[in-house]
C-alpha cells in the first residue's frame, strides 16, 4: 500500500473515488457496506460519487462481490438487464433459473416451494441482494426473500426507491435502505 498525505497526516492505503452508485473504483464493491477495509478519507463521508475512500484491498480481482437478484419473475427483461450490468461491473450474479410469470410456466405448489428454498440458498451465498422492484412492486415471495436476507445479515440494494406495491396500492416504507 502506498502512503497518502491527507489533511496533513500520513495514512496507508490508496485513495479511490466512488461512482454514482457508491461503488469503490478499486474493488467495485459498495464502499459503505464493503468488507475490504474501506474508510472515508479524512473530512469526507462515504455517501455519493463526490466522496473518496481508502481501500485496503490490494488485488480487487481476488474477491468479486456476489449479488443475488430478487423480485417478481414477471420482470424478466429487467432481471436480464441488471444481470448484464452487474456482470460487467465484475460481480458474480445469482438470478432465477426460470421465469414462471413472464414465460407463462405453470408450477405445482411443490415446485414453487423447491424454487423458493433454492433461491434462499443463493441468498445465503450472496454478499447482497438486489431487489428488482419495478414500479415499486414487491410481491409476497420477494418480501419473504428480503426478510430472509435481513435475518441473515445479507445487505440489500434496490433497483428503484423503496416502495411496497401490491397490484392495486403503493405505500412508502419507513427506515433507511441497507
Task: Report pLDDT digits (tens) over 36-62.
Answer: 455 555 545 455 445 556 665 555 556
Domain identity same for 50 and 70: no
Give the total number of structural domains in the chain.
Answer: 2
Per-residue pLDDT, averaged over 55-81, amounts to 82
> Could you tell me if 72 and 41 are in contact, meaning their C-beta atoms sit under 8 angstroms apart?
no
Query: What is the per-residue pLDDT for 16?
Result: 63
Statement to judge: residues 156 and 117 lie in one domain: yes
* Co-location of 49 and 84 in the same domain: no
- Predicted confidence at residue 37, as pLDDT, reads 52
pLDDT confidence of 14, banded at 50, 70, 90?
low
CA distances from 83 to 16, 49, 73, 125, 129 (A): 25, 22, 14, 17, 12
Please state, for a pLDDT cut of 90, what percent of the chain lies above it.
48
* Residue 160 φ then ψ, to 5°: -120, 165
What pLDDT, in 10s, does the model give residues 19-29? 666 666 666 66
71, 23: one domain: no
**Structural domain harbouring 43:** 3-55
Contact in structure between 15 and 8 (CB atoms under 8 Å): no
pTM: 0.60
Contact 93, 164 (CB under 8 A): no
Looking at the domain assignment, is residue 14 inside a domain?
yes
Amino acid at each position: 500500500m502506498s502512503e497518502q498525505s491527507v489533511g496533513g497526516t500520513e495514512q496507508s492505503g490508496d485513495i479511490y473515488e466512488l461512482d454514482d452508485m457508491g461503488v469503490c473504483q478499486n474493488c467495485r464493491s459498495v464502499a459503505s457496506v464493503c468488507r475490504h477495509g474501506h474508510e472515508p478519507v479524512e473530512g469526507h463521508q462515504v455517501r455519493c460519487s463526490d466522496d473518496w475512500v481508502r481501500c485496503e484491498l490490494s488485488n480487487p480481482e481476488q474477491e468479486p462481490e456476489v449479488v443475488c437478484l430478487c423480485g417478481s419473475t414477471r420482470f424478466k427483461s429487467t432481471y436480464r438487464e441488471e444481470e448484464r450490468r452487474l456482470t460487467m461491473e465484475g460481480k458474480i450474479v445469482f438470478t432465477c433459473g426460470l421465469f414462471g410469470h413472464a414465460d407463462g410456466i405453470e408450477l405445482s405448489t411443490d415446485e414453487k416451494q423447491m424454487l423458493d428454498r433454492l433461491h434462499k440458498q443463493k441468498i445465503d451465498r450472496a454478499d447482497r441482494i438486489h431487489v428488482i422492484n419495478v414500479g415499486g412492486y414487491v410481491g409476497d415471495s420477494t418480501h419473504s426473500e428480503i426478510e430472509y436476507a435481513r435475518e441473515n445479515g445479507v445487505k440489500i440494494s434496490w433497483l428503484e426507491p423503496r416502495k411496497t406495491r401490491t397490484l392495486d396500492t403503493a405505500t412508502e416504507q419507513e427506515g433507511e435502505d441497507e
